[in-house]
Amino acid sequence: MKPRGKERRGRSRGATTERSGYSGRFSLVLVVLVALLLVVSARLVQIQIIEGPAYAAAAARQRTRDIVLSPERGFILDREGEVLAESVDARTIYAVPTAVVDKEATARALAGILGGSEDAYLEKLGRDSSFVYIARKVDISLAESVQALGIEGLGFIGDSRRVYPSNELACQVLGFVGVDDEGLSGLELYYDRLLAGTPGRMIAERDTRGRPIPGGVTMEEDAVDGKDLVLTIDKDIQYQAQVALAQAVETWGAKAGSVVVMDPTNGEILAMASVPQFNPNRFGEASEDAFRNRSIVDTYEPGSTIKSLTAAAVIDAEIFEPGSMFELPPTIEVGGRTIHESHWRTTVQWSLTQIVTNSSNVGAVKLGMALGEQGLYDYFSRFGLTEQTGVDFPGEVKGYLPSPDLWSPSSIATIPFGQGVSMTPLQLARALSAIANGGELVTPHFLKDVPEAPEIEPAWPKQRAISERTATAMRAVLTDVVNEGTGAAAAVPGYQVAGKTGTAQKARTDGQAGYDPGKYVASFSGFLPASDPRVLIIVTIDEPTNSIYGGTVAAPTFGTIAAFCVEHLKIPPGEPVTGTSQAQ
């Protein structure tokens, strides 16, 4: 019996050991499970809490497209409401490269419809991107032809593109816009903030092939269209100015030319033309030289056209009157420099009016010396020759009128007849406006109205330059220039024209002092009707070769444009103005 008791006690100890081993393994498994649970929990915390926003953003990027909604750019209209620049409907074509199955065939089809290089389209379709522009601002008919192909992975966005219906008309004035509808030059640049509007935004959900998910738009903010602008430009006068200028440049074998047509009473610019020209619908094909609005960004020595300002200054200063007489030798020496006339003559007795009428350099020297250096500088400053005109156009420059302390001994002789001083054609137009309108400098400008923003009231200030008495006297003097003097070719039948010719040497541009032999700027500046001026015109012809004189080269172009203006604007002839070329 005892042995069995021992056996039971032995089995009992074995069972206890077995249970102890099982309990240890369970604890180990439990520890492992808890550890794994902690690792998983930590990873979930990392993914969902710490890295969650990044993953959510990545997922959003994969299923959504953030698309800019372009506003419609405002129209640009002439003073009569004729469209000069407009925005027309277009389409922008894009692709989701991963969704395009046959990239080679797609590139071939796009090149066949849209033009361009097949390789360029293939490069875009091969990019590692979920969105790529294929072509922007595509004509609607072309975009519809592409859409009709039904190619998976291609998408279309409503857009607009800038169009200039009259092609070259007012090209330098209007300028042009880039592919993102931002103004790059001209008034498109200057008034970009008003014209551009405010872009909108759309965030849309799309499937893996780039197709919109119905009801999947998560956010849409409408674009605000730009505002229309009404300009002072008259489309018909602008056209005539461009045609007449282009013909003059060709006729006289000139390098370039410019025309300003302005209302001298208020500074409204009716036309502004430059040659060479370009088509803003295809501005990428033009040379940079054609982009230049020469009346605003180019300076030149005005030559004899400035004699009208010199004469006005001595009259306003009450030094001389139009009938004051002068003995004028054929040459005059000042500061070691001998001043000649453009054509040889003997000693004459001429009035101030005759000095201007016959464009006498010697006479202009005597007028300038009577004013003195400071007096001449002060009056030319009052005529705006030391400042910009304030025109609403980008890139305006101003000419050069040195202060008297920088003058050479001969400057008092050369500046009165237009050498050693430079200006833009628009600066000259502004200065001459003071003679035309009774003595006030106007601010030249292009903007007439912003119909959708009546709160915008641009200010175009005026400032007095000379007395009304002086202006009246000078209108009579300048009328004689056309009636009896060098400006006869500027005459307009039935109207009295007041004006001044100019033939100016061009300063050297190679860094050396002096003038470039054989290179001139021929010009004519004037206004009509002389008694009540409504139109002021500046014509400059750069480097004419068949003739050099302003009365021959530029004055006929003035006459052509002026004749059209008075007929088109229905301007009456006005009262006769009696000039005087004799002593009073």
Does the structure show a pLDDT above 90 at 185?
Answer: yes
Distance CA 535, CA 530 (A): 10
pLDDT band at 308 (very low <50, low <70, confident <90, very high): very high
Q: What are phi and psi of 418, to 5 degrees?
A: 95, 20
Residue 425 maps to a domain? yes
Question: How much is the average pLDDT of 443-454?
Answer: 95
pLDDT reported for residue 319: 97
Distance CA 391, CA 441 (A): 13
Question: How much is the average pLDDT of 88-108?
Answer: 90
Task: Report whether 488 contacts 550 (CB < 8 A).
Answer: no
Does the structure show a pLDDT above 60 at 252?
Answer: yes
Residue 309 maps to a domain? yes
Does the structure show a pLDDT above 80 at 81?
Answer: yes
- From residue 79, give the alpha-carbon distance in Å to each of 88, 147, 243, 450, 457: 21, 41, 20, 11, 16
pLDDT reported for residue 295: 97
Question: How much is the average pLDDT of 165-173?
Answer: 97
pLDDT band at 580 (very low <50, low <70, confident <90, very high): low
pLDDT band at 488 (very low <50, low <70, confident <90, very high): very high
Residues in CB range of 373: below 8 A, 6 or more apart? 404, 407, 411, 412
pLDDT reported for residue 222: 80
Does the structure show a pLDDT above 60 at 10?
Answer: no
Residue 11 maps to a domain? no
Residues in CB range of 196: below 8 A, 6 or more apart? 71, 73, 74, 181, 182, 183, 226
Residue 400 burial (CB < 10 Å; 0-12/13-18/19+)? Answer: middle
State which residues form the domain around 560.
235-568
Domain with residue 346: its CATH number is 3.40.710.10
pLDDT band at 27 (very low <50, low <70, confident <90, very high): confident
Does the structure show a pLDDT above 90 at 26?
Answer: no
Beta strands in 24-174 (DSSP E): 64-69, 76-77, 83-95, 132-138, 154-163
Of 51-60, 111-120, 467-476, the poorest mean pLDDT is in 51-60
Distance CA 19, CA 344 (A): 137
* Residue 310 CB neighbours (<10 A): 27
Give the total number of structural domains in the chain. Answer: 1
Mean pLDDT (the chain, rounded)? 89
Question: How much is the average pLDDT of 85-112?
Answer: 91
Nearest of 352, 309, 300, 261 to residue 535 by alpha carbon: 261
pLDDT band at 316 (very low <50, low <70, confident <90, very high): very high
Tokens of 242: 């461009």
Of 60-64, 95-99, 136-140, 569-573, the poorest mean pLDDT is in 60-64
pLDDT reported for residue 576: 87
pLDDT reported for residue 2: 45
Distance CA 283, CA 38 (A): 67
Distance CA 71, CA 87 (A): 10
pTM of the model as a whole: 0.84
Does the structure show a pLDDT above 70 at 473?
Answer: yes
Distance CA 352, CA 319 (A): 11
Distance CA 241, CA 253 (A): 18
Tokens of 492: 């307009």
pLDDT reported for residue 583: 36
Residue 151 maps to a domain? no
Distance CA 188, CA 193 (A): 9
Residue 33 maps to a domain? no
* Residues involved in catalysis: 304
Does the structure show a pLDDT above 80 at 187?
Answer: yes
Residue 174 maps to a domain? no
Residue 406 maps to a domain? yes
pLDDT band at 199 (very low <50, low <70, confident <90, very high): confident
Distance CA 214, CA 443 (A): 57
Tokens of 51: 């890295």
pLDDT band at 49 (very low <50, low <70, confident <90, very high): confident
pLDDT reported for residue 22: 66
Distance CA 297, CA 530 (A): 29
Share of the chain above pLDDT 90, in %: 70
Task: Report whether 487 contacts 481 (CB < 8 A).
Answer: yes
Question: How much is the average pLDDT of 492-505?
Answer: 95
Greater model confidence, 459 or 34: 459
pLDDT reported for residue 159: 84
Amino acid at 216: G
Distance CA 503, CA 540 (A): 10
Of 39-53, 99-113, 234-248, 381-395, the poorest mean pLDDT is in 39-53
Does the structure show a pLDDT above 80 at 201?
Answer: no
What SS3 string covers 4-15? HHHHHHHHHHHH
Does the structure show a pLDDT above 50 at 1?
Answer: no
pLDDT band at 101 (very low <50, low <70, confident <90, very high): confident
Nearest of 306, 302, 305, 278 to residue 292 by alpha carbon: 278
Residue 470 maps to a domain? yes
